[in-house]
Amino acid sequence: MNDTHATVPARGRWAPLSPRQTAEFLAGADFPWWIAGGYAIELAVGEPYREHGDLDVLVLHRDQDRVRRFFGGWDLFMADPPGAGMLRPWPPGGLLPARVHDVWCRRAPDEPWSVQLMFDEADGEEWVSRRDARVRRALAQLGRVTSTGVPYLSPEVQLFYKAKNVREKDQLDFDRMLPRLDATERAWLAGALELVLPVHAWLGRLRR
């Protein structure tokens, strides 16, 4: 077993699972999960339009015990301390600190990373943004499901997370998704940004 106190730099080769492969792997999970990140936007758009360096899956922090058991003998590392560019092993039965929201996953130490788990908060039947607890959504409305049965994070919620530090790929995701957001989805995203990032450049286009 890995030394639970050892840390390694947050780098290494990635060979991410596809959304379909991820859905097949997680089909028997006893916790809710959603494909997140750029893939969530691509699934909402309905066609591939850019490359992806990893694959994100959103799960709830309160389900951490079930998540860790499900991944069994996989090699899991948490980004701890957050933002420091370092990873620390998350062994079976280990506690995931409340401050940790990012876990890198690979099947074995000599295999590439294939899934990145993003842990978020919940209050009863509500999802609560880890960035600002004022931003909330009913868990029943947090995601969508593709025609082939793949759960993914609602695009307006994913775009809210992408809005904090907009990279070229994030702007592309926004540009591709904006015409497909209905009035309710635009209003939710605009309201969330007004609370947290009130001078964000996307607000003008959302209000048109």
The residues that bridge with 88 in the sheet, in sequence order, are 78
Sign of the Cα pseudo-torsion (137, 178, 42, 149, in order): positive
> Tens digits of per-residue pLDDT, 139-177?
999 999 999 999 999 999 999 999 999 999 999 999 999
| Sequence ranges of the domains in the chain | 8-154
User: Is the Cβ–Cβ distance between 19 and 45 less than 8 Å?
Assistant: no
Q: What is the pLDDT along the chain (208 residues), one digit of tens a residue?
A: 445 557 888 889 999 999 999 999 999 999 999 999 999 999 999 999 999 999 999 999 999 999 999 999 999 999 988 888 899 999 999 999 999 999 999 999 999 999 999 999 999 999 999 999 999 999 999 999 999 999 999 999 999 999 999 999 999 999 999 999 999 999 999 999 999 999 999 999 999 8
Interhelix angle 37-45/155-162, nearest 10 degrees: 140
Q: What is the CA radius of gyration of the chain?
A: 17
Domain 8-154, CATH class in plain words: alpha beta
pTM: 0.94
- For the chain, report the end-to-end CA distance as a whole number of angstroms: 55
**Strand 115-123, strand 56-60: pairing:** parallel
